Structure 1
């Protein structure tokens, strides 16, 4: 009996060993199959006929070292060459039958809407939630969007099997005769934030942008002189409008080319020699603009490269070892060509002080792919231009059209030459929010549309939308009727535009903190409501609205108004579980309802989440470069007892030092218990070059009822009612940023 029991015990032990969790490595290899568990919700599936797998990066899959640690998943041998791999989110069944991963040997089980679902790599997708398009050039109405990685099915797959490798910093075609399969399976169920985090894990996080990119731009396709550029800046200052960046479109360079492909029937599209008839002393002009705290960028259509009419041509051809009488085609496949191109086409202007380039690539019809590769020319140029901009410890800075998955690593994006009409405005609202689903986080649009008939009301509504986007940037075609300087219209329209331009300036601390959040989490700045509120069905049904960061809900008006005030309406759904406050009127709207909100031309549906601190600054003419010497905090009441913390982020705004931890965060804590509110500004943590050691504070307390008194660090003060803001304010004198500020008051509603 004892012998029989012993045998049974040994048998049970052997069975237990056979099915034990035995993670040995990541990736997992079975002959010619390799599975890499990148995150709990992302798998890489490879099949190589010769058993030699790809470890070199591609433009999309640039982060090969990110893998789930072996102690965070289990592998069980089920017998008969079958295995079960389990992560915190997935249960994977795989049968090693010697064939590529397929519906016969692979099944992945995940939860969606509380029920178990089955994923296979057949890639039949029905419910994608949309993603970015490459460009809106000549688009006049809504068009189908490309895929993002977010889907109501709870999964998405990217096939990278034909993508070129990046070896020693350059494109190298892969061996597609042996490497037959290279699939990235995002399987996330309802957890859209996990999907976006997985995108960052395999493709790299979106880098921090130069802070001034998120400011106010002036751009126009017009041949301005030096004096006219300076007068434009003076006009912004004289008329009380902020400005951070000024763009020189094609008029900055000469237009006397006689050879090349050109564009639109004109040879002169590409150019790198300054037009000294318009701008006699480029460096002096750039220096003058810089002294006023404004950056300069240049338009660039590089498809014709350097041609005989350019000043730099002879030196460039000598560096190339080529004969001057045989001009070279633009060749992004050649490391030598591109190195010399940047040295001779770009470097002279950069040495004059040009801050960044606008890569205006429109030549897919000529050069859709880099010669000898499967990589699109736009994708590769975005990579090369971004690299080239990372000089002298500065962050990369590109401004170009979207080139597909992985291009989030080269911000920011230019949406192209869209038509000026109401339908396009409505589509841009939807497109901008959905583009974050695919990693396109920072669109900058042509406010008012690139071409079309003038419509001041449309431009004002477009400006309101773009005030809550990656950048407030005007641009238009060479049409004397289409100058988007905001003071050129009627006084009423100028006042409406001034109000929204000032809003953009005031929101920069919140915007830049939200940009940091996008960098660290891959959650979009402009995003669809289902990313945060996907458990509420209405979040999928309201493409006319979006979240801008964590705290702001917006539904821009996209139809013409009526009457003297041009009043127009927009449908707004308010997510349940929150109280939302109209930024302009302070009216409270409880979540869980839908309203048609009507607004005059100087307002639009913009709501702030109650129970949080919204960091702002006073109006500043150069909002992205001026020091934050006064931190404005707006606090709307919560609908329940809460403790919420928003993190104010600061750094020098331009260098790569943030990658080395040189930045500062300040916890902004809102606590509400019954009617008692405590606001705490915690001491700043961290430091960076140029950090202010002291600042003052202003608290704006709308919708709180009549406030008779408050306490600031234990001292009783009397709040002041500000008629222009229509709320009580509390001023806190300047003090060290390392010192906490605690403000207490009672709601009286």
Structure 2
């Protein structure tokens, strides 16, 4: 009897043990484990990137990512079980799974702890998503208490680090949400979910919670530093193609040019004034009334000969892009065809009324509907009309407005709307990725002669692969807004999407009466122009009042002169900017760089929200407070007047680890200190990192007017340095075939020698011979008003290696 009882007890213990045991199997990319009621998969995509997938046992996660385009590489890794933990290790990354709790942690290749999940924080709550069984999913992580994180797209909060931030991540006019952050510790995390997502961070937990998900799906990447993390994210979600050279010139637009003669007249006026211009933009309503919304035809009588308009712009050596939307009016051909394929969404969008008057008259609903950009056939139809109606005219690019899209008076039923990929609730945040991607992919299919250029209002993870520059939405002009643009753009860049800009001067002028005559606004506009000079796109735009520089006076007026000065400065920097853009495409760099990217060890620098690097040489500190106006009595009234009677200063921090040169004076200053920089109206604090080699281009009226056969090369002593000058045909995709050239410069500070290496590569029209005017910058070599300096040496270069000695 005792033996029988003993056998029964032992059998019970064995069965209980088997029930509680956690099983796992090694796969070709990692491991698959059953832990409690979950299945957990770890998949190496590269030695530095690992995917974590979790889903309830008995369910299936067959998700096809919309953002991730990379397939897993064959990665060598080892597995080892240590107590309750299963360890997976590649040459760059270690992953630990607790086989009892399911907690996952990450360490660097040398076992430095980077991030770990909060034990027990994995959550699946079953929901009914428009008739389909799904889950609300959540996962929390533990960060170091003093750890700074960046990214998450763009929000106008004025913050650099995203610690102690709570966000409801739903795409909007002003906020673009990308569920990706990176840490000052050199890692990044991409939460691959497209539904409305809540991000919450405090000192205890950092949490992603998404309304809909068949699984928890995220990617962890170890890059070592910010550039390395961005390289991982682009490796995962796609590389950024080159923009044409002309896109880096100056752009002018307004809401809106009402006739084609008005638009062409603006370009003519710039040419008459000898002020550079490369891009002009036509905003909405060229299609006519709201019932014809986005018809992709010029039905407005003010545009009676659109082919002539495009030809006239091109004849003036400028380029043109045009507004297109993600929605269509009920009287358009597109609406009719999309309705037949059940590819229109039945929720309220802009415009609400068929009447163009304000306020909106809802008694006459516009009937405009958003199209299903998730549907590949709908994207085909969109391009068919865009190509036939506009692209074939020779249009140079697209302004994709309302690419979130606009969603007014949201109701729960709206999110039940069926899309090609499931409920709108499930895929809502990826809409801009799909709509922008559709235009890019179709244009690439029909033309390689013209690089795709898209200006768009919204973005999602991976959108950098679609030739798009995102602007910060319909912002309201104020000094606070200007300052907030800096951290907004930097965090967007830290989200791995390198191309960003804002409406110079602010879109809405609600806070200003007679703004073009208001000294406060005039100063704000100048300071915004100064900031915009150092953004990936320099574009003046706004509603209510035109913003062309001649609206602010004429030559000799301080406002006019300052605006003209910075447009010319932008063009002088084109060789530097275009070479930086090549580094973005070829080496996963970023043009607009938060200080954490280059000075991560300087704790005083990494959270500054009003300074940044433009490329790897220029430190920019925009002026974000008014300085040059005062109130003055005129009779019984107090009016604002311009007051330049004294020069004001701005406090600037120069990061440690480098010495710096004042761009304007050539004065050398040690890093790791705060300085006071005088900032008259036409000066932005601008410093060049010691060791920099800075090319300066010729004075031109448009980007390609003159070849770079007589460049000024500035050397900033105090450290070794290098620079690669990139050149190609300025447009088309031949660079993807290796048809381009580079010239590598290196400065040896000890021996005072500049080495110009043998030119690498070639392209049609390439300069075989040229001159370099070499300037060694010092206090006697300031730049001055003409943005040029007398060279120390002039050398002729025929493509062969040169060594230039400055020992004497």
Q: TM-score, normalised by structure 2?
A: 0.74
Return the alpha-carbon distance in structure 1 between the equivalents of residues 715 and 259 of structure 2.
Answer: 46
TM-aligned CA deviation for residue 534 of structure 1: 0.6
Deviations 1:267-287 (A, max 9, x none): x65342314532221111211
Return the alpha-carbon distance in structure 1 between the equivalents of residues 755 and 43 of structure 2.
Answer: 45
Q: Does 1:133 align with 2:210?
A: no
1:241 counterpart (263, 266, 275)? 275
2:613 counterpart (547, 550, 553)? 547
Secondary structure (helix, strand or coil) at the match of 1:252 reads coil
TM-aligned CA deviation for residue 432 of structure 1: 1.3
| Matched ranges for 1:204-283 at <5 A | 204-255=238-289, 257=290, 259=291, 269-275=293-299, 277-283=301-307
Query: Equivalent residue for 2:574?
Result: 508
Secondary structure (helix, strand or coil) at the match of 2:263 reads helix
| CA spacing shift, 1:237–1:125, aligned 2, 3 Å | farther
1:356 counterpart (397, 403, 412)? 397
Q: Does 1:564 align with 2:644?
A: yes
Q: Does 1:436 align with 2:443?
A: no
Deviations 1:76-115 (A, max 9, x none): 35477x5322234433223556xxxxx5453333499x96
Q: Does 1:375 align with 2:382?
A: no
Q: Does structure 1 retain, via aligned residues, the 8 Å contact 2:70–2:237?
A: yes
Secondary structure (helix, strand or coil) at the match of 2:687 reads strand
2:324 counterpart (292, 296, 300)? 300
Query: Equivalent residue for 1:405?
Result: 461
TM-aligned CA deviation for residue 601 of structure 1: 0.9
TM-aligned CA deviation for residue 445 of structure 1: 1.1
1:627 counterpart (707, 721, 725)? 707
Query: Equivalent residue for 1:185?
Result: 220
* Range that drifts further, 490-499 or 466-475: 490-499
Query: Equivalent residue for 1:447?
Result: 504
Secondary structure (helix, strand or coil) at the match of 1:124 reads strand
Return the alpha-carbon distance in structure 1 between the equivalents of residues 505 and 768 of structure 2.
Answer: 41
Q: Does structure 1 retain, via aligned residues, the 8 Å contact 2:470–2:501?
A: yes
Return the alpha-carbon distance in structure 2 between the equivalents of residues 348 and 531 of structure 1.
Answer: 44
Query: Equivalent residue for 2:358?
Result: none
Q: Does 1:395 align with 2:451?
A: yes
| CA spacing shift, 1:506–1:316, aligned 2, 3 Å | same
Return the alpha-carbon distance in structure 2 between the equivalents of residues 180 and 93 of structure 1.
Answer: 20
1:74 counterpart (75, 78, 93)? 78
Query: Equivalent residue for 2:729?
Result: 652
| CA spacing shift, 1:328–1:422, aligned 2, 3 Å | closer
Q: Does structure 2 retain, via aligned residues, the 8 Å contact 1:58–1:163?
A: no
Return the alpha-carbon distance in structure 2 between the equivalents of residues 723 and 742 of structure 1.
Answer: 31
Q: Does structure 2 retain, via aligned residues, the 8 Å contact 1:134–1:403?
A: no
| CA spacing shift, 1:741–1:619, aligned 2, 3 Å | farther
Return the alpha-carbon distance in structure 1 between the equivalents of residues 393 and 155 of structure 2.
Answer: 32
* Range that drifts further, 44-53 or 333-342: 44-53
Return the alpha-carbon distance in structure 2 between the equivalents of residues 57 and 653 of structure 1.
Answer: 36
Return the alpha-carbon distance in structure 2 between the equivalents of residues 660 and 509 of structure 1.
Answer: 22
Aligned length: 664
TM-aligned CA deviation for residue 224 of structure 1: 3.5
Return the alpha-carbon distance in structure 2 between the equivalents of residues 344 and 722 of structure 1.
Answer: 51
Q: Does structure 2 retain, via aligned residues, the 8 Å contact 1:469–1:526?
A: yes
TM-aligned CA deviation for residue 148 of structure 1: 4.7
Return the alpha-carbon distance in structure 2 between the equivalents of residues 178 and 559 of structure 1.
Answer: 45
| CA spacing shift, 1:57–1:620, aligned 2, 3 Å | farther
Deviations 1:89-147 (A, max 9, x none): 433223556xxxxx5453333499x96455226423664334422789xx9xx999976
Query: Equivalent residue for 1:45?
Result: 52
Return the alpha-carbon distance in structure 1 between the equivalents of residues 256 and 438 of structure 2.
Answer: 28
Return the alpha-carbon distance in structure 2 between the equivalents of residues 667 and 218 of structure 1.
Answer: 34
| Matched ranges for 1:274-353 at <5 A | 274-275=298-299, 277-304=301-328, 307-308=330-331, 310=332, 330-353=371-394
* Range that drifts further, 354-363 or 127-136: 127-136
Secondary structure (helix, strand or coil) at the match of 2:228 reads helix
Q: Does 1:497 align with 2:602?
A: no
Return the alpha-carbon distance in structure 2 between the equivalents of residues 116 and 313 of structure 1.
Answer: 54
Query: Equivalent residue for 1:670?
Result: 747
TM-aligned CA deviation for residue 162 of structure 1: 6.3
Q: Does structure 1 retain, via aligned residues, the 8 Å contact 2:599–2:606?
A: no
Deviations 1:635-677 (A, max 9, x none): 1211x5x3x221112222322222222222110111222xx52
| CA spacing shift, 1:211–1:58, aligned 2, 3 Å | farther
Secondary structure (helix, strand or coil) at the match of 1:424 reads helix
TM-aligned CA deviation for residue 474 of structure 1: 0.5
Q: Does structure 2 retain, via aligned residues, the 8 Å contact 1:508–1:623?
A: yes
| CA spacing shift, 1:683–1:111, aligned 2, 3 Å | closer
Q: Does 1:739 align with 2:800?
A: yes
Query: Equivalent residue for 1:151?
Result: 183
Return the alpha-carbon distance in structure 1 between the equivalents of residues 704 and 765 of structure 2.
Answer: 14
Q: Does 1:728 align with 2:790?
A: yes
Q: Does structure 1 retain, via aligned residues, the 8 Å contact 2:327–2:368?
A: no
* Range that drifts further, 539-548 or 393-402: 393-402
Q: Does structure 1 retain, via aligned residues, the 8 Å contact 2:654–2:673?
A: yes
Return the alpha-carbon distance in structure 2 between the equivalents of residues 321 and 23 of structure 1.
Answer: 45
| CA spacing shift, 1:360–1:723, aligned 2, 3 Å | closer
Deviations 1:652-708 (A, max 9, x none): 2322222222222110111222xx5212222221123443333222223320769xx
TM-aligned CA deviation for residue 610 of structure 1: 1.8
Q: Does structure 2 retain, via aligned residues, the 8 Å contact 1:629–1:694?
A: yes
Secondary structure (helix, strand or coil) at the match of 1:243 reads coil
Query: Equivalent residue for 1:385?
Result: 439
Deviations 1:210-262 (A, max 9, x none): 3322221111112343332232112212222111111011242212x4x4xxx
Q: Does structure 1 retain, via aligned residues, the 8 Å contact 2:712–2:772?
A: yes
Secondary structure (helix, strand or coil) at the match of 2:280 reads strand
| CA spacing shift, 1:523–1:659, aligned 2, 3 Å | same
Return the alpha-carbon distance in structure 2 between the equivalents of residues 686 and 319 of structure 1.
Answer: 52
Query: Equivalent residue for 2:656?
Result: 576
TM-aligned CA deviation for residue 731 of structure 1: 6.1
Return the alpha-carbon distance in structure 2 between the equivalents of residues 303 and 187 of structure 1.
Answer: 40
| CA spacing shift, 1:635–1:283, aligned 2, 3 Å | same
Q: Does structure 1 retain, via aligned residues, the 8 Å contact 2:549–2:563?
A: no
Return the alpha-carbon distance in structure 2 between the equivalents of residues 187 and 288 of structure 1.
Answer: 51
Query: Equivalent residue for 1:679?
Result: 754
Q: Does 1:123 align with 2:140?
A: yes
Q: Does structure 1 retain, via aligned residues, the 8 Å contact 2:116–2:141?
A: no
TM-aligned CA deviation for residue 607 of structure 1: 0.8
Unaligned 5+ segments in structure 2 are 1-24, 119-138, 158-170, 197-210, 344-366, 516-520, 629-642
Secondary structure (helix, strand or coil) at the match of 2:527 reads helix
Q: Does 1:84 align with 2:87?
A: yes
2:522 counterpart (456, 478, 481)? 456
Query: Equivalent residue for 1:9?
Result: none
| CA spacing shift, 1:337–1:203, aligned 2, 3 Å | closer
